[in-house]
Structure 1
């Protein structure tokens, strides 16, 4: 049974038992949200601290500032140097990292359960008390420029980012690359970063999720104390900031894949990397389970249509698959293949034809059965990883505002019918708007 996650203190101590584990949610003083899943069968804990701010929340001149800030939080606090932060996890055999995405920033660690207080102390110190020193910015800016340069050397990175920008809108905040560009990163000042930090890193914006051998109440007390030690004002009765508002599914395109003029990016490669697709569905769409089944059948594994018909039967590509991405008010679908330049036109035609055939003729019950098995099996395997389960709690809180247990998730996938998949495939097959080719300059 799904459980709503309301944004009020009435939601404190929401308790669910699932498969021998205990899921709890509390809204702490200051509006901090804490979600935990206690599992005493392991001897570790994965913990994450989430802020619902990403690259889509930046202004154009400050593109990349969220990613820069993520890097700078590892560069030192009033209590710790950058080396102290690194050594804190290394010396207990733990791990720590962070991710900046289009709609959130996420700091996480995984440690033995006995070392959970250390992980909370270090992550809370980073979140509340980063020094953001100008000299650290100067050094880390060079690191980020190297990171951007490394991505530019990878044709798949270049193609994917260009494809996303074209589908979502190159002049929109959502369409811009998460890391910004060399020009925008070079222009970001220490004052810009501090303003961004002060605006978004607040108690009412913070979500903490943890899974493993832990006690919810003890973690709540420890977290509150460490955030207060960092100078955050944690008022009783405060409510969290509202979630990012929902948006309508994007309007379908009106494109025929065969008629698309590709955007060509010249790179000194042996293959042409092709991205083909258009608008999809949002992260909260009622069709998201249908999309998952469709993607599994079309290009989600070695038994998928794209893999079998393009690689196995014809030998035209080594790597070929389909993908989708959903955001608030936007989404996309895509097909990817890497092949020798002389085969590009044939591969593009075959990829589009597979989606068209799915929309015209439907899918078989065997395909539906395999897709359900692949999806639910992957879900079950993910439950053996505390980090995956911790991420699942974060998505439930930040994106959906609802916790869905595993049985309910499986039931929703099982409720998808072949006709649902066919209907969505037919819409997507007539919605191609974008093709990006990355490869040799003379491939055209």
Structure 2
């Protein structure tokens, strides 16, 4: 294994993967707290905090942070998911120490000033309004609520207007103090770097991060929260009807998770998939149609999305149902299995050409799996999926319950 993995006495975990074929370096800080770890009143707090960390530190203003990264031609950003929050930057490898020090300052010593909370609150409200203007965002948000009910996995990661307006500066500071601690944090680095030097620089840059553990007891969703066969129709004056069909799926560590990747690709994961071929290529009824499968610590979801003109919506809905039924009755063919395995392996390998992708693999796996899964292991997991495995998981996932259907558009 080419990765260098250490845990400091403070509890902070550092992982470094040197790359000889690049001139860049990517540094990521992965904190094991996300939207599912919030109470209803706190909804959107992880995302709010992600924004605020870039507003300034004890020694830097927001413009200081922006200028420091612009000065070396890099980029810096962050995102919040259901189960973790990540902060990252990518820059020329000769400036790696600048990126490490900057992220250390941003994550370990944020100012979290009252005035910054108020100004960023307005930015987040604008972000929520922007999402409300996107019917594709609205339909996926409504789908999450239909599948997971009032569980945190069913709420929007950014919260809603009421919860964002209700959060106080003290709420933000308390959440940061309790959750942003060494044993809950991974620092991942990939690129043209010397591992020993980078590990030492990270240890210094993150020395101010509070020691401790922030393990949370995550409540699994109530199985009864999803009403089988539920139909949700949101009337909106849009040019297309945006539709999501789906339901609950497998947890991240389920033994059939890799077989589900295969089945999902056959159904709607690529250009040769059944849904794309039937709905777009053969009939021209949609520009965008695809399937996906999300996985969390204790549950997952599967979904099929399509956008189509109102006069075609019923036909597209029927065709989606037909393809699901065909998948359940006929399973997949040996040729489809081979195509899916080749696609998953090839796209995974090509995606790892970039230092940012390598860094994300390291940080993401350590955060959600608690260990590193080598590239070779992942490729073997897909190649070892048999036809029986794929057809078994089809019944487990797509045949478990009548799917939920959510539409946004003219009714």
| TM-score, structure 2 as length reference | 0.95
Q: Secondary structure at the match of 1:436?
A: strand
How many Å separate the matches in 2 of 1:145 and 1:269?
A: 22
Residue 314 (structure 1) aligned to one of 270, 279, 283: 283
Alignment-derived partner of residue 405 in structure 2: 435
| Distance verdict in 2 for CA 1:252–1:133, change over 3 Å | closer
Deviations along 1:76-111, one digit per CA (max 9) or x if unpaired, are 011100000011111100010000111000000001
Residue 396 (structure 1) aligned to one of 358, 365, 377: 365
| Distance verdict in 2 for CA 1:247–1:67, change over 3 Å | closer
Root-mean-square deviation (CA, aligned residues, Å) is: 2.0
Q: Shift of residue 242 of structure 1?
A: 5.4
Q: Shift of residue 343 of structure 1?
A: 2.0
Deviations along 1:282-307, one digit per CA (max 9) or x if unpaired, are 12211111111111110011110001
Alpha-carbon contact 1:263-1:436 (below 8 Å) kept:
yes
Alpha-carbon contact 1:284-1:399 (below 8 Å) kept:
no
| Distance verdict in 2 for CA 1:299–1:233, change over 3 Å | closer
How many Å separate the matches in 1 of 2:218 and 2:386?
A: 29
Alignment-derived partner of residue 288 in structure 1: 257
Q: Shift of residue 252 of structure 1?
A: 12
Q: Shift of residue 232 of structure 1?
A: 3.7
Number of residue pairs matched by the alignment: 410
Which sections of structure 1, spanning at least 5 residues, go unmatched?
1-15, 17-21
Q: Secondary structure at the match of 1:131?
A: coil
| Distance verdict in 2 for CA 1:422–1:151, change over 3 Å | same
How many Å separate the matches in 2 of 1:375 and 1:266?
A: 37
Residue 54 (structure 1) aligned to one of 34, 37, 42: 34
Q: Secondary structure at the match of 1:363?
A: coil
Q: Shift of residue 426 of structure 1?
A: 2.5
How many Å separate the matches in 2 of 1:249 and 1:367?
A: 35
How many Å separate the matches in 2 of 1:67 and 1:279?
A: 25
How many Å separate the matches in 1 of 2:235 and 2:16?
A: 48
Q: Shift of residue 244 of structure 1?
A: 7.2
How many Å separate the matches in 1 of 2:222 and 2:321?
A: 22
How many Å separate the matches in 1 of 2:262 and 2:222?
A: 18
Q: Secondary structure at the match of 2:385?
A: coil
Q: Shift of residue 266 of structure 1?
A: 1.6
How many Å separate the matches in 1 of 2:226 and 2:46?
A: 31
Q: Secondary structure at the match of 1:402?
A: coil
How many Å separate the matches in 2 of 1:33 and 1:78?
A: 24
Alignment-derived partner of residue 268 in structure 1: 237
Deviations along 1:22-45, one digit per CA (max 9) or x if unpaired, are 211000121000011111221211
Which sections of structure 2, spanning at least 5 residues, go unmatched?
none
Q: Secondary structure at the match of 2:153?
A: coil
Q: Secondary structure at the match of 1:336?
A: strand
Q: Shift of residue 250 of structure 1?
A: 6.5
| Distance verdict in 2 for CA 1:269–1:245, change over 3 Å | closer
How many Å separate the matches in 2 of 1:150 and 1:134?
A: 25
How many Å separate the matches in 2 of 1:268 and 1:177?
A: 22
| Distance verdict in 2 for CA 1:182–1:436, change over 3 Å | same
Residue 342 (structure 1) aligned to one of 287, 294, 311: 311
Deviations along 1:293-331, one digit per CA (max 9) or x if unpaired, are 111110011110001111222222221111111111121
How many Å separate the matches in 2 of 1:403 and 1:95?
A: 26
Q: Shift of residue 140 of structure 1?
A: 0.7
Alignment-derived partner of residue 136 in structure 2: 156
| TM-score, structure 1 as length reference | 0.88
Alignment-derived partner of residue 119 in structure 1: 99
